[in-house]
Homo-oligomer: A and B are copies of this chain.
Amino acid sequence: MTKQTNSFLRIYPLGGVGEIGSNMTVFETENYNIVVDYGILFPYEDFFDINYLIVDISDLNTKKETVLFITHGHEDHIGAVHHFVKEYPQTQIYAPEFATALIRRKLEHRKLPAKIKIYTEIDVFEFDDYELHPLHVTHSIPDTYGIILKCTSESRAILFISDFKFDLNPMFEKPFEIQKLKDHYTSQKDRIAFLDSTNILTPDKTISESELTEGFEEIFTRKQRTFITMFSSNIYRMKNILETAKRSGKKITTIGRSIGAYLSAAEESALIDLKEYPIVDFDAVLNYEDPNLVLLVTGSQGEFLGAMRRILNGDQKNITLNENDLFVFSSKPIPGNEKKIYRMYNQIAEVGASILNFREMKIHASGHPGQEDLKALIDIANPTDYIPIHGETYFLRKHIDFINMHYPHIKTYFLENFQGLDFSKSPFAFFNFDQKEPLLIHGDDIVIEREKISERRKLACNGLVMISINLKNQNISITTKGLPTLVDTNVPLHKDLVHEQAFNKFKNRDHDYTTEQIRISSRTFYHQFLGYKPIVIVHML
């Protein structure tokens, strides 16, 4: 027996649940689609320079008024906003100040106008029977919010925090807003929680950014030119490093486009005042060998275009490494990047320079809650119903196991992308809808179809033979790409074969038939040398 209530509410993730990235969840009330975040996903396997994947939003219910509500400025939450603006230019966007500064850069670069309003923790939004209270939380980027969605007609509230750490003593910002949680959530009868699964395998409490100062202080006592690499979006980490470096009498410079972009957005949002620090523009550094020089550089994950890789490959002007250099990784490998990161370690070790990472020193703090943090939050929020989000499927299951073990009275739900929960019904009802494959984005924001990617894979794995046949003068041109030289030496023999087929064996058959026969026999011809068949394209004209 289900009971229909008046306060219609469905919540369904379209991305970010069962995967890490492309976060997007729709809160659907009677007249509104509140789309929470629209981020990008980095591909699981190598997709040949594909930039990223995004959720396909072409099916969004446009009969309802759609607003885009941004929780924070990480790329897996805002990276696809310009695609949203292109598809639904009238959408009202609400975002925190820092995320707004970052989104505006994306839109300006593409000359796209958009309606963005900045919100803060004092704002309250009304959507039908619901009040949306932005809940300020701590994370690894400033200006991060969770959501409390409080029903005005029934005693019910939703807590939705996809990314947070439970830091009650942050260095530079307000702590996690506990009072608002108590006022608008814990006081309700039905308390539904959607919470972050990223660190569910970590049993401990996540350390505070403030605990890293000591490590940086120790590092800055060393008389070594020091390269520090980290995520550029972690403004407070950078601020911590800058303040410590300043106290230690160090000079600071930066290498890498994204650090510059994030720092300027941070300045615009009044999060940092760069004039306070001894920062020198990289091109204006007087002595690049200065043992007092601290270089903040991008590319901590070994990114192809990151400054770290450029420096280690010897391609960064003015920088030649030596064995007195110190490299500080104020970061942790994202699964999948270990090999690229070890490659950087090896390059540093080849020069004989030193490496410090999170294993050897407290110089990195996660932005996500460990099990102890989740417990601390749950003990305050006291949810009745619980849905793990923001994690791969394995992590969601582990999160459910964790809740079931420690809080057996809380009802847990295993929710995947393209599944939703209807909170208008009691008990809450699951619903499913057709899964749409995420779109692959390449080059200038272009969508590329999956079958084209598979064509690319075939070209890369098997190489190419291109054959043109002039039916008038019987000329034949053959070009190979990506095939061993061993094969190239057999091209004259192949030409004879093509000639025989085109102008003798199949000369009376129609073009399509002959073309296909030549294609097939050419593949077989190369198979004998290679053990596999290359892609063959035949033009008869």
Contact = CB atoms under 8 A, between A and B. Distances in A.
Tell which of A352, A448, A453 has the most Cβ of chain B within 10 Å. Answer: A448
A148 interface: no
Given A464-B464, A472-B470, A342 B335 contact: yes
A303 interface: no
A452 interface: yes
A397 interface: yes
B537 A466 contact: yes
B475 A541 contact: yes
Interface stretch (A28-36, A185-193, A439-447): A439-447
B541 A468 contact: yes
Contacts of A201: 359
Contacts of A394: 342, 345-346, 348-349, 355
B336 A529 contact: no
Interface string A337-357: 011001101111110100100
B345 A484 contact: no
Contacts of A452: 463, 482-485
A531 B49 CA distance: 13
Given A393-B346, A446-B484, A461 B537 contact: no
A456 B460 contact: yes
Contact of A481 (B352, B535, B539): B535
Interface string A509-541: 000000000000000000001111001010101
A447 B537 CA distance: 24
A477 to B, nearest CB: 4
A489 to B, nearest CB: 13
A314 to B, nearest CB: 16
A175 interface: no
Contacts of A346: 18, 392-394
B482 A456 contact: yes
Nearest to A345: B394
A208 to B, nearest CB: 25
Contacts of A379: none
Nearest to A447: B484
A468 B539 contact: yes
Contacts of A444: 530-531
B355 A48 contact: no
Contacts of A466: 466, 537, 539
A247 interface: no
A435 interface: no
A532 B443 contact: yes
A335 to B, nearest CB: 4
Contact of A460 (B447, B457, B470): B457
A124 B345 CA distance: 40
Contacts of A350: 18, 393, 416
A44 interface: yes
Tell which of A49, A345, A355, A468 has the most Cβ of chain B within 10 Å. Answer: A468
9 contacts: A338-B338, A350-B393, A443-B531, A452-B482, A453-B482, A459-B482, A468-B539, A468-B541, A472-B473
Q: Which 9 A-B pairs have the closest CB atoms?
A: A444-B531, A336-B339, A460-B460, A443-B531, A468-B539, A472-B472, A345-B394, A456-B482, A468-B468
Interface of A: 18, 44, 46, 48-49, 201, 335-336, 338-339, 342-343, 345-350, 352, 355, 359, 392-394, 396-397, 416, 442-449, 452-453, 455-457, 459-464, 466, 468, 470-473, 475-477, 479, 481-486, 529-532, 535, 537, 539, 541
Given A345-B392, A349-B393, A448-B484, 16 more contacts: A49-B460, A335-B338, A335-B339, A335-B342, A342-B394, A349-B396, A442-B484, A442-B530, A446-B530, A456-B459, A456-B463, A470-B471, A470-B541, A472-B473, A481-B537, A539-B539
